[in-house]
Chain A
């Protein structure tokens, strides 16, 4: 069933985890990378408070991950299970665990300068939830049925103490090693419980023997190091044995045990779940006691969940203004704080300012889709944040937007073109690869400057003394081959002195471009060229017939890099262009980067950069900034962000 359940912080530390079957840590790492850092999914990653059902499941290898995120505390709750299984209650589990964990450990989680959260006792709560949800089985709304389930649980079919005991022992034992031995007579057992009850049955035998020979406290000594409350055995007597049954309906007192988990005063350890376990261990022979413990934990969990629910409802309701004077005062206070800072931002505060930011981005030629996504991301990030002293809302938004843009535009792996070419053309002896020419191809819509940018790249490579072959893959437009021939002639003259060599490979018009490209690569390998640059015909991105030939092209030419040229002049259409070209190379291949041409013609309005990166998550590698061969630049994120946010 469930493979693993982890509670981890955004700073990367796992606070609590339960593993049933070993899952490679790379599964969760990839999940974090894709959802939170690179934001590959259509839903922005940092969605606060969305339940696990709303968050799309993340699939990796054979695993499916259901997750939810508590933004305020920066905690991610993630459940990993095999994709083959269908677990209907998994969303409920993730949500409930989140409510319980946050309810129990909120104080500890907000402590600065530490990563330690004492949550050994959380095992109890998790087990309880898991049991409950499993029993509820396929019922869709377990939350509503909870009290019913609970009464069934404790009344009709009391889980026998050996089973309970076995689960506790399991925590000490490595879960992966527990084989599925004979099924013990636990009435409430479902699939998971069978697996868990394996060692339980064994242990119960041992425990039975121990009960015959020794007294109860001695058997509790068998419990293992996790039992924290053992040091205070006096307390359990007072609280649980004396008025135990009275307690089980006493919601108030149980409720008060929640905040005590973090404090250390004398009377409290009795309320800790650790103590509950111990009572169980010392008196587990009695059916009623075992029942009582289970019931009590269920009540506590229920009260926490109810609290969380109530809070959520309260939060949605408090929007109503509290009278005329109240609003007036708060408005003045808000204005004051807006200037002085130290204001906790709410959605209302942000709405207007975000509207302004969105307008600003649109003015910079960012496609509306991308602008909205950016603004929503920033807004989500800022709600609930306190502004610094003397920091206005606008300044805060500016700062957040800068960070957000930087994160979006920064590529995951930076490109060092010369290095990559060297690695391919003269591989190290240990890598067992054969030397071959490095193949780059350039695609794009008509008239964006494919050939021009190709010759700019060629010029750059020639300056670095590479031997370059230009393949005329545009076998369609009249004059395309001659145009490249002119470029090659110019480049030859320009770089003859610096030691670069360039040649044109052309087969005239009307031939299949993919075949020409393939032949060019073969020819280059034969003649010892370092780099092959393949030009392609411009094509309209929404013309299915023209786009489909790109897949064949990618298969035949096997380019190391496919770059798309997009012009900075284009507006909203850039999103569709980038998407269609990115998808055109078949399932196994996508674009490797963009060249944004004509950046010199748009001034500050470089929004196209953002639009295409937003659409594809493919980085911008180069920008064209002029008419000369040397006017090709590496893309600098800082430059782009400055231009986008400048308000001239």
Chain B
């Protein structure tokens, strides 16, 4: 009987609009979601690694670089590669104590250094398959499924973009336009991302590395020349696109809105340079290197990636 009485009292007390009850109720309403959030965020382990997206035309050496970085610490020979059809990601770790001096060849498990892990996402470079790679960069906070193998993997944030080019192929005329066209699309996507921000918060800056590969070959252009050639070609594409036909589906009404969209780089200057992309928080570096042969190697690229993840 007494139990019932106490229960009844309690119920009554909780339903009377007294200050304590209101206070409790408010506190509960406010704190419960926060508590739940903490509960869940600690329960799920930190599995989403940052990722670095590897883009570039086919045959530039993207997959080769991927295998080089993966096999480097294990002292395995470089795998042969062919044209990719699907993206793949590999988990890499970099010395977080001193990213600038690290080499991709050191086995961090053996060295005992603290490792920072990230994913390197290799994408197919074939023009028919580019659309899906570019789609990753579209949103203000570019993400990518951390494990491409299984569906429903957690999203991983893209920290940097590495754009591989074949410096030896750029020397003759045919490869340059197609390479530059892809780079143009990449940079334009990143630029649009800057415009598409929602709210006042600017999207995180997106560093882009143009990795001039195959410098071990005799015919390869040095990094500086790769840079100037690409800049010139990008400028030309920019001019051609502004003069070219409109895309289908673009009506006359959209013209005004789309005005700013397709002009790569900020000012209306005649020449394009990568420095113009700074305005959109896209920081472009051109570094030479080589995956195979006894050229300059890939250490510089590794360092660049290490500083940015």
Residues of A in contact with B (beta carbons under 8 Å apart): 6, 8-15, 17, 25, 28-29, 32-33, 36-38, 74, 110, 112-116, 342, 385-389, 403, 406-407, 410-414, 416-419, 423, 428, 431, 460, 463-464, 599, 622-623, 625, 632-640, 642-643
Q: Which of B86, B119, B178 contacts A113 (CB 8 A)?
A: B119
Q: List 10 A-B contacts (CB under 8 A).
A: A12-B88, A12-B122, A37-B128, A112-B148, A342-B152, A407-B129, A410-B127, A416-B244, A633-B248, A639-B247
Residues of A within 8 A of B149 (CB): 110, 112-113
For the A-B complex with A11-B122, A32-B85, A634-B244 known, give 5 more contacts whose Cβ atoms are closer than 8 Å. Answer: A10-B86, A13-B66, A36-B85, A414-B127, A635-B247
Residues of B within 8 A of A403 (CB): 132
Residues of B within 8 A of A412 (CB): 126-128
The answer, yes or no, to whether B1 is at the interface (CB within 8 Å) is no
Task: Give the distance to chain A from B292, nearest Cβ to Cβ, in Å.
Answer: 12
| Cβ B90 vs Cβ A388 within 8 A | no
The answer, yes or no, to whether B250 is at the interface (CB within 8 Å) is yes
| Cβ B83 vs Cβ A116 within 8 A | no
| Cβ B79 vs Cβ A32 within 8 A | no
B199-256 contacts to A, CB under 8 A, are 236-237, 240, 243-250
Distance of A112 Cα from B148 Cα, bound (Å): 8
Task: Give the distance to chain A from B45, nearest Cβ to Cβ, in Å.
Answer: 15
| Cβ B84 vs Cβ A10 within 8 A | yes
Residues of A within 8 A of B66 (CB): 13, 115
Distance of A32 Cα from B236 Cα, bound (Å): 32
Q: With contacts A38-B128, A116-B76 known, is A14 near B82, CB below 8 A? A: yes
Task: Give the distance to chain A from B46, nearest Cβ to Cβ, in Å.
Answer: 15
Residues of A within 8 A of B128 (CB): 37-38, 407, 410-412
Q: Which of B124, B149, B150 has the most CB of A within 10 A?
A: B149
Residues of A within 8 A of B248 (CB): 599, 623, 625, 633-636, 639-640
Residues of B within 8 A of A625 (CB): 248
| Cβ B247 vs Cβ A636 within 8 A | yes
The answer, yes or no, to whether B155 is at the interface (CB within 8 Å) is no
Residues of B within 8 A of A423 (CB): 173
| Cβ A28 vs Cβ B82 within 8 A | yes
Interface stretch of the complex, out of B67-75, B189-197, B296-304: B67-75
Q: Which of B76, B83, B240, B250 contacts A32 (CB 8 A)?
A: B83
**Nearest B residue to A110, CB-CB:** B149
| Cβ B151 vs Cβ A419 within 8 A | no
Residues of A within 8 A of B236 (CB): 419
Task: Give the distance to chain B from A564, nearest Cβ to Cβ, in Å.
Answer: 17
B138-194 contacts to A, CB under 8 A, are 147-152, 173, 177-178, 181
Closest 5 CB pairs of A and B: A639-B249, A12-B84, A11-B88, A633-B248, A14-B80
| Cβ A406 vs Cβ B83 within 8 A | no
| Cβ A634 vs Cβ B243 within 8 A | no
Distance of A622 Cα from B247 Cα, bound (Å): 9
| Cβ B91 vs Cβ A33 within 8 A | no
Q: With contacts A13-B79, A116-B71 known, is A638 near B249, CB below 8 A? A: yes
Task: Give the distance to chain A from B285, nearest Cβ to Cβ, in Å.
Answer: 26
| Cβ B250 vs Cβ A633 within 8 A | yes
The answer, yes or no, to whether B16 is at the interface (CB within 8 Å) is no
The answer, yes or no, to whether B35 is at the interface (CB within 8 Å) is no
| Cβ A419 vs Cβ B240 within 8 A | yes
B97-125 contacts to A, CB under 8 A, are 119, 122, 124
Task: Give the distance to chain A from B222, nearest Cβ to Cβ, in Å.
Answer: 18
Distance of A492 Cα from B245 Cα, bound (Å): 20
The answer, yes or no, to whether B89 is at the interface (CB within 8 Å) is yes
Distance of A645 Cα from B127 Cα, bound (Å): 22
Distance of A437 Cα from B281 Cα, bound (Å): 43
| Cβ B70 vs Cβ A11 within 8 A | no
Residues of B within 8 A of A410 (CB): 127-128, 130-131
Q: How large is the interface on B (under 10, 10 to 19, 20 to 34, 35 or more residues)?
A: 35 or more
Task: Give the distance to chain B from A281, nearest Cβ to Cβ, in Å.
Answer: 23
Residues of B in contact with A (beta carbons under 8 Å apart): 59, 63, 66-67, 70-71, 74, 76, 79-91, 119, 122, 124, 126-132, 147-152, 173, 177-178, 181, 236-237, 240, 243-250
| Cβ B71 vs Cβ A12 within 8 A | no
| Cβ B82 vs Cβ A29 within 8 A | yes
Residues of A within 8 A of B79 (CB): 13-15, 115
Residues of B within 8 A of A599 (CB): 248
| Cβ B81 vs Cβ A13 within 8 A | yes
| Cβ B76 vs Cβ A33 within 8 A | no
Residues of B within 8 A of A416 (CB): 177, 181, 237, 240, 244
**Nearest B residue to A624, CB-CB:** B248
| Cβ A114 vs Cβ B91 within 8 A | yes
Task: Give the distance to chain A from B219, nearest Cβ to Cβ, in Å.
Answer: 13
Distance of A256 Cα from B128 Cα, bound (Å): 44
Residues of A within 8 A of B249 (CB): 633, 636, 638-639, 642-643
Task: Give the distance to chain A from B180, nearest Cβ to Cβ, in Å.
Answer: 10
| Cβ A12 vs Cβ B127 within 8 A | no
| Cβ B119 vs Cβ A32 within 8 A | no
Q: With contacts A37-B129, A414-B127, A419-B236 known, is A12 near B243, CB below 8 A? A: no
Task: Give the distance to chain B from A349, nearest Cβ to Cβ, in Å.
Answer: 16
| Cβ A12 vs Cβ B85 within 8 A | yes
Task: Give the distance to chain B from A19, nearest Cβ to Cβ, in Å.
Answer: 9
**Nearest A residue to B251, CB-CB:** A625
Q: Which of A11, A110, A387 contacts B85 (CB 8 A)?
A: A11
| Cβ A414 vs Cβ B63 within 8 A | no
Q: Which of B59, B76, B79, B122 has the most CB of A within 10 A?
A: B79
**Nearest B residue to A15, CB-CB:** B79
| Cβ B245 vs Cβ A386 within 8 A | no
Q: With contacts A116-B74, A414-B127 known, is A11 near B240, CB below 8 A? A: no
| Cβ A11 vs Cβ B83 within 8 A | no
| Cβ A33 vs Cβ B181 within 8 A | no
Residues of A within 8 A of B240 (CB): 416, 418-419
Distance of A413 Cα from B178 Cα, bound (Å): 8
**Nearest A residue to B149, CB-CB:** A112
Distance of A428 Cα from B229 Cα, bound (Å): 14
Q: Which of A13, A413, A623 contacts B127 (CB 8 A)?
A: A413
Task: Give the distance to chain A from B170, nearest Cβ to Cβ, in Å.
Answer: 13
Residues of B within 8 A of A632 (CB): 245
| Cβ A12 vs Cβ B83 within 8 A | yes
| Cβ B91 vs Cβ A386 within 8 A | no
**Nearest A residue to B92, CB-CB:** A113
| Cβ B82 vs Cβ A634 within 8 A | no
**Nearest A residue to B130, CB-CB:** A410
Distance of A406 Cα from B244 Cα, bound (Å): 22
Residues of B within 8 A of A633 (CB): 245-250
Q: Which of A12, A13, A32, A634 contacts B246 (CB 8 A)?
A: A634
| Cβ A114 vs Cβ B90 within 8 A | yes
Residues of B within 8 A of A464 (CB): 243
Residues of B within 8 A of A32 (CB): 82-83, 85
Q: Which of A12, A38, A74, A112 contacts B81 (CB 8 A)?
A: A12
Task: Give the distance to chain B from A87, nearest Cβ to Cβ, in Å.
Answer: 22
**Nearest B residue to A113, CB-CB:** B91
Task: Give the distance to chain A from B43, nearest Cβ to Cβ, in Å.
Answer: 18
Q: Which of A33, A428, A460, A622 contacts B83 (CB 8 A)?
A: A33
Residues of B within 8 A of A342 (CB): 152
Q: Which of A416, A428, A638 has the most CB of B within 10 A?
A: A416
**Nearest A residue to B80, CB-CB:** A14
Residues of A within 8 A of B237 (CB): 416, 419
Distance of A99 Cα from B58 Cα, bound (Å): 31
Residues of A within 8 A of B87 (CB): 11
Distance of A414 Cα from B147 Cα, bound (Å): 31
